[in-house]
Structure 1
């Protein structure tokens, strides 16, 4: 069985050393939801999820040291996206289509989101975007495929964690360690179809 999540992922680093990945999923088997994966400078990995069902599914797919169930909301006004998730809050500004995004647009969407294609190009993706992967393990014998169809740079952020300012925008480095791959080091928001293939 194939589970398909259609939405956006934003990834960025901060001057404090906290690295953040925000998933915004208007279309998914779990309904419309957003979640936040955060890795502190000391390597502690936190999932902020809006429900028990989302927390259970995501923590079965990725690895965290801590899971919190909190209201997670996001909104977009023009090029500014706002996210609130319990102890985390952020506003980030989305720029134009990046060079990576222009490259991705060459591939037709149907092909770009196909697991067979993503399995084939995974070795190339690792070279072009260090840390990124298009195919890998989703745990429990499942396989996961990231089909990115567009990418825009993130140009500025304001963010807080547990009331503390996280500082200015930086590269997402070192890579986050939630799953088999990381978001690009350069701060980006990508349009993506994530497909998880369950065991037969």
Structure 2
């Protein structure tokens, strides 16, 4: 597919995505990661990634273009193009991906800002999304939060950088897939295997800027 350009271009090269990611686990073993992107090369959109207890990884994306880009950056066993939306509700968020009885539905209660979230807020926003800074702090980030990385190699020769500006704990979540409840709210454990890093084991909602650099052609 062609390169996306315009509003989603990052300083110093690469494609810039600004928004939020929520990640949590369930008693059934299925882990859910939802991206809610306010600004991106593809405009405003949301997507969802699931990995079940057997390791089957599914991408739910709203358009063929988004599905192609995300599946070329991360690894999935199944890709579905379905409507994906989210909305604010009292105390949190509601997410829906798909239609009818074959949808992912989730309700997420957002909690407090942990000490690490307050520390992240103190980093100037321009620095927090600088790829040089994110490359430098990656070894520290992976020690502070197991499984988490701020820089690494993605699919098809791409490089990816995660600049988190704040984080909030998830107090609770419930979800169902294809009409079947996933079970009680749980840690995101084991780590998901979509890319080079995972969301934190403790469920969080994080505000971040993601920069993806495509290989030179």
- Normalised by the length of structure 1, the TM-score is 0.97
Match of residue 50, structure 1, among 62, 65, 73: 62
How many pairs does the alignment contain?
200
- Output one character per residue of 1:114-141: Cα deviation in whole Å (capped at 9) or x when no partner: 0000000000011000000000112222
Distance in structure 1 (CA, Å) of the matches to 2:84 and 2:162: 23
Name whichever structure is richer in strand by fraction.
1
- The CA deviation at 1:103 is 2.0
1:22 aligned to which of 34, 39, 42: 34
- Deviation of 1:77 (Å): 2.5
| TM-aligned CA deviation for residue 198 of structure 1 | 1.7
Match of 1:105 in 2: 121
TM-score, structure 2 as length reference: 0.90
Q: Secondary structure at the match of 1:75?
A: strand
Query: 1 or 2 for the larger relative contact order (CA 8 Å, sep ≥6)?
Result: 1
Unaligned runs of 5+ in 2: 1-12
In the TM superposition, structure 1's runs of 4+ consecutive aligned residues that sit over 3 Å from their partners are none
Runs (5+) with no aligned partner, structure 1: none
Cα deviation code 1:89-121 (max 9, x no counterpart): 000100121222112122111111100000000
RMSD of the TM alignment (CA)?
Answer: 0.9
Cα distance in 2 for partners of 1:167, 1:95 equals 20
Equivalent in the alignment of 2:5: none
Pick aligned residue for 2:148 from 132, 135, 140: 132
* 1:1-200 matches, cutoff 5 A: 1-86=13-98, 87-200=103-216
Partners of 1:21 and 1:100 lie apart in 2 by 20
